[in-house]
Amino acid sequence: MHIKADPDGKETADRDNNELTEGRRDRREALLSAAIDLFAERAYENVSVDEICARACVAHGLLSYHFGGKRGLFAAAVSRVWKDLTSFEKPQEFETTVAERFHGYLSRHFAYIRAHPARFRLMMRTAHADKEISEILRSTRRGAIREIEAALGCPEGASPRLAMAIAGWADFVDTVTLDYVEDSSFSVADITDMCAQVLVASVRSASDMRVDAAVELETLARVTSPELWI
C-alpha cells in the first residue's frame, strides 16, 4: 500500500514550527528587554527574578531555559547594551576625514548616552563583575579602541605607547560620560570638542612630537586660574 504525501500537512507543521520558534524568540527578547530596564534602574542584587519575569510576562522557567539563570541574563543584558552602543557609534560613509570620523564617533557616543542614560549606568555597574561579564566588557572595550584607532588612521598593531595613550583616553571618556549622565548641561558639541582635544594631547604625548612638560604645566596653571572661571 502506498501512502500519499500530504503537502498541506507538511506546510501546517512547518508553519507551527516557525510560530513556535518566533514565540520563543519573542519571549527571550521580552526577558532581555525587561532585564535591561530593571538592571539599569537598580543594582544587580536589588533586582529579583520575580520582577524580571513579571515585567516580561513570562514564566520563571523560561529565564533559566534561555539564560541559565539571573547571572546569565545579566551578562546578556550588559552585552546587548554594549553592542547597541558600539553599533550606534560606528563611522558613517560620508565621514571621510579623520576629523569627521572621530567627531562623528564622539557625537554619536554622547547622543546615545543622552537618550539612554540609565543604560550607561548599567554598563558601569560591573566593577565587581564575574569572569563572564568582565570578559564581555574587555572584549567590547578592545573593539571600541580598535574603532578609535581606525578612525584616527592608525596602522594595525599600534605601538605600546600609542595603545596605552588611547586606552587611557578611553577611561577618561568613561569618567566624563558618567558625569555627563548626572549633569547634561553641556552641549554634545562642547563635550565632544573637549574629549577630542584631550585625545590629541594624549596621542601627542605618546608620539615623537614631544613637548616641554614644564611649559605645558605653566600654561595649565594659567588656564585654570580662578579669575578665568568667575
163 and 128 belong to one structural domain: yes
pLDDT tens string 178-202: 888 888 788 888 898 899 889 888 8
204 and 105 belong to one structural domain: yes
6 part of a folded domain: yes
62 and 88 belong to one structural domain: no
Distance between alpha carbon 97 and the CA centroid of its chain, in Å?
Answer: 24
211 part of a folded domain: yes
Instruction: State residue 3 phi and psi, 5-degree precision.
Output: -105, 120
* CA atoms of 115 and 109, how far apart (whole Å): 10
84 and 59 belong to one structural domain: no
pTM reported for the whole predicted model: 0.71
pLDDT (0 to 100) of residue 54: 95
Instruction: Give the three-class secondary structure for 18.
Output: helix
* CA atoms of 128 and 74, how far apart (whole Å): 13
60 and 90 belong to one structural domain: no
57 and 86 belong to one structural domain: no
Among the candidates 43, 68, 93, a domain finishes at 68
Among the candidates 42, 68, 94, a domain finishes at 68
205 part of a folded domain: yes
* CA atoms of 152 and 98, how far apart (whole Å): 5
Judged against a pLDDT cut of 90, whether residue 29 lies above it is answered with: yes
Judged against a pLDDT cut of 70, whether residue 49 lies above it is answered with: yes
148 and 94 belong to one structural domain: yes
What's the number of domains the chain is made of?
2
121 and 9 belong to one structural domain: no
Residue 177: Cβ within 10 Å count: 19
Strand positions, DSSP E, the chain: none
Among the candidates 20, 38, 68, a domain finishes at 68
pLDDT (0 to 100) of residue 83: 85
The letter for the amino acid at 179 is D
Residue 193 CB partners (closer than 8 Å, separation 6+): 103
Q: Read off the CATH number of the domain in which 7 is found.
A: 1.10.10.60
132 and 21 belong to one structural domain: no
- Taking residues 170-181, what's their average pLDDT? 89
Instruction: Give the three-class secondary structure for 207.
Output: coil
Q: What is the DSSP letter of 92?
A: P
Q: Is 153 left (phi over 0), alpha (psi -120 to 50) or beta?
A: left
Q: Domain residues for 57?
A: 1-68
Q: At what angle do helices 131-152 and 160-182 cross, to 10 degrees?
A: 110
pLDDT tens string 50-79: 999 999 999 999 999 999 999 889 889 988
Residue 92: Cβ within 10 Å count: 11
162 part of a folded domain: yes
95 and 196 belong to one structural domain: yes
Is the Cβ–Cβ distance between 105 and 151 less than 8 Å? yes
Residue 73: Cβ within 10 Å count: 24
- Taking residues 8-37, what's their average pLDDT? 69
55 and 83 belong to one structural domain: no
pLDDT tens string 140-164: 777 777 777 777 777 777 788 888 8
CA angle in degrees (0–180, nearest 5) for 80-140-24: 25
Q: Read off the CATH number of the domain in which 165 is found.
A: 1.10.357
Is the Cβ–Cβ distance between 18 and 49 less than 8 Å? no
* CA atoms of 157 and 154, how far apart (whole Å): 8
pLDDT tens string 103-124: 888 899 999 998 888 888 877 7
43 and 95 belong to one structural domain: no
36 part of a folded domain: yes
